[in-house]
Structure 1
Amino acid sequence: MRSAGVHRLEAARRIGVNIRTAQDWDLGIRHVSNKRIRPDGRVIDYTSGMTTLLPAVPAALEQPISNRYLSLSERETIRDMIAAGSSLRTISTALRRAPSTISREIARNTVPVHGYLPYAAHRAAAARRPRPKNRKLQTTPRLRAYVTSKLRIRWSPEQISRTLVKTYPDDQEMRVTHETIYQALYLQGRGGLRREVAATLRTGRSRRKPQNTGEARRPRFADEMVMISDRPAEVDDRAVPGHWEGDLITGTLNQSAIGTLVERTTRYVMLLHLPHDHTAESVRDALVTTMGSLPEHLRGSLTWDQGAEMAAHKSFKIATDIDVYFCDPASPWQRGSNENTNGLLRQYFPKGTDLSVYGPEDLEHVAQELNARPRKTLDWDTPAERLRDLIQST
């Protein structure tokens, strides 16, 4: 009836089948035991949700699958036009395809000896199409072991991805994008990586979600503040080392705290031990002790938020001769390096825990581990390496 020009809907009505079934018949799709077998050999099993590929036969290969994909006749045209010396844009114009489509097709399916072969290219494309595919972290044990080991010492997926390129510059097998690692951790059943490894991520979340912004703070002390808008330009562009950002991370019910300091140029981290409380006097004394031990050229300035713990900022400046600048209310991005570091520290000091149980040795160990991590913003050097080079060159 279709060959005689009968409309599909009318033909389906006459023989008593659903219009969807008639549409599948028009496309050459067969239904067998809750499976749909497509002309290109793909078998879609609706019971398991799996797609597999039957051995290809010439008749199935020759039938176009969809306008989205290159057909065998188009691949033959590509071969003929390549032999005639046509450019990629000439081929794309003739086939009404994007030049990038033709470029990728030739790059993927050209073999060293025989060049571009249309039938081989068509078979290779059909073989690549079935889903789901095995992920690289499942099929490459050596890569999987490397990624797992770095996750266990709290490296981020992007740190792992970038360091692989530096560590194995000539080994293409040891390559994985940070997004692949995130998907292996977050997507149940796709993985590759054991679910408990996800707990080593900084957020500790089982799925992604956007961060919330903080609430505005009001000034809490009488001594006049020097605002961040008055900070010299050399501090803003990170061109000159020795300028620091600081903050506190607090424990259960804000009863305990650890002070954090980050050098803006090298991202080097130092932690302040506050064993008893985090009053303005305790924070001032810890800052004087820690920053007073730095070389003169690394004591440029300190940028803090308007927390009550910095009420003694004037006496700190007198004791150390270090200028103190304050961020605007509800503007944590003005201390971006420090905010990022505080997030990293929550891997070691989770929210809602008692921070007073950690001694100076514990804080030093955590700081050393953070300073040994490669950083994207440092072109994948570590803060310790950058600080070492800075001290040696001075």
Structure 2
Amino acid sequence: MRVPIADRPEAVGSRKGFGHFESDTVVGAAPSRRCMNTQVERRSRRLFARLVDDKSASATARAEYEIFKGMPPAARVDRTWDNGTEASLHMLTDEALGMPAYFADPYSSYQRGSNENRNGRIRRYLPKGTSFEDLTQDELDAIVGEINDTPMKLLGYKMPNEVWDEEMSRLQSKATNTKTGVALTN
């Protein structure tokens, strides 16, 4: 069942919480069916991208799983998709990783603005009309690395990787202190 964006927790919309992602697919030029699954963490604006053979729901679900499986649960809380058919098997990732999906309103790409922005950054390297047929995951990772290492004004001139690392350290510290019984205050 698709859960509308209106039912998403308020912390997601305000970007106060960490681990909330915006999801999309970037399509390469025909005749190749190859595309990429992109995920952007809303607070840090960190981009994750995975090449997929096609825009099918099964390929998308596999790509999502590969992106998120190595993250601690507190770093992968939920994700927000548009209404594309590639997300029709969202429940596989929901169940496998305990990571629910929400769906933006039709024709409302602004509800996933961080993802649209990051996809635009990818297009600076791979303009529309570029085939992804010969693109390797290593090459895509290098592009994503450059994007994530670019300071952003809205992050106080920090890089998305820097903000991500700070949030991950905070999660790790919180987990360590929970195990030792030491309370933290912020």
TM-score range (shorter-chain normalised) is: 0.7 to 0.9
Q: 1:271 aligns to what?
A: 49
Residue of 124, 130, 142 corresponding to 1:353: 130
Q: 1:10 aligns to what?
A: none
Residue of 281, 299, 305 corresponding to 2:82: 305
Root-mean-square deviation over aligned CA pairs: 1.1
Structure showing the higher strand proportion among its residues: 2
Displacement, 1:314?
1.4
Q: 2:107 aligns to what?
A: 330
Q: 1:234 aligns to what?
A: 11
CA-to-aligned-CA distance 1:149-172 (integer Å, 9 cap, x gap): xxxxxxxxxxxxxxxxxxxxxxxx
What letter matches 1:252 in structure 2? A
Residue of 23, 30, 39 corresponding to 1:261: 39
- Distance in 2, Cα, partners of 1:314 & 1:390: 27
| Corresponding residue SS for 1:245 | strand
- Distance in 2, Cα, partners of 1:312 & 1:356: 24
Note the 1:206-245 alignment, pairs <5 A: 224-245=1-22
Displacement, 1:351?
0.6
Q: 1:97 aligns to what?
A: none
Structure 1's consecutive aligned runs of 4 or more residues displaced over 4 angstroms after TM superposition are none
- Distance in 1, Cα, partners of 2:139 & 2:71: 21
Residue of 164, 168, 177 corresponding to 1:391: 168
- Distance in 2, Cα, partners of 1:359 & 1:272: 10
What letter matches 1:316 in structure 2? T
Q: 1:115 aligns to what?
A: none
| Corresponding residue SS for 1:364 | helix
| Corresponding residue SS for 2:3 | coil
| Corresponding residue SS for 2:36 | strand
- Distance in 2, Cα, partners of 1:323 & 1:280: 16
| Count of equivalent residues | 170
What letter matches 1:365 in structure 2? A
Note the 1:38-57 alignment, pairs <5 A: none
What letter matches 2:68 in structure 1? M
User: Is residue 247 from structure 1 mapped to residue 24 from structure 2 by the alignment?
Assistant: yes
- Structure 1 gap segments, 5+ residues each: 1-223
Displacement, 1:255?
2.4
- Distance in 2, Cα, partners of 1:376 & 1:256: 33
- Distance in 2, Cα, partners of 1:388 & 1:299: 14
Note the 1:1-394 alignment, pairs <5 A: 224-253=1-30, 255-274=33-52, 276-394=53-171
CA-to-aligned-CA distance 1:71-111 (integer Å, 9 cap, x gap): xxxxxxxxxxxxxxxxxxxxxxxxxxxxxxxxxxxxxxxxx
Q: 2:182 aligns to what?
A: none
- Distance in 1, Cα, partners of 2:110 & 2:69: 27
Residues 81 and 102, structure 2, Cα contact 8 Å, conserved in 1: yes
Displacement, 1:256?
2.2
- Distance in 1, Cα, partners of 2:61 & 2:50: 10
Displacement, 1:258?
1.0
- Distance in 1, Cα, partners of 2:124 & 2:143: 10
Q: 1:123 aligns to what?
A: none
- Distance in 2, Cα, partners of 1:351 & 1:260: 16
- Distance in 1, Cα, partners of 2:75 & 2:19: 4
- Distance in 2, Cα, partners of 1:356 & 1:324: 29
| Structure index of larger Rg | 1
What letter matches 2:153 in structure 1? K
What letter matches 1:259 in structure 2? N
| Corresponding residue SS for 2:44 | coil
Residues 75 and 168, structure 2, Cα contact 8 Å, conserved in 1: no
Displacement, 1:260?
0.9
Residues 42 and 114, structure 2, Cα contact 8 Å, conserved in 1: yes
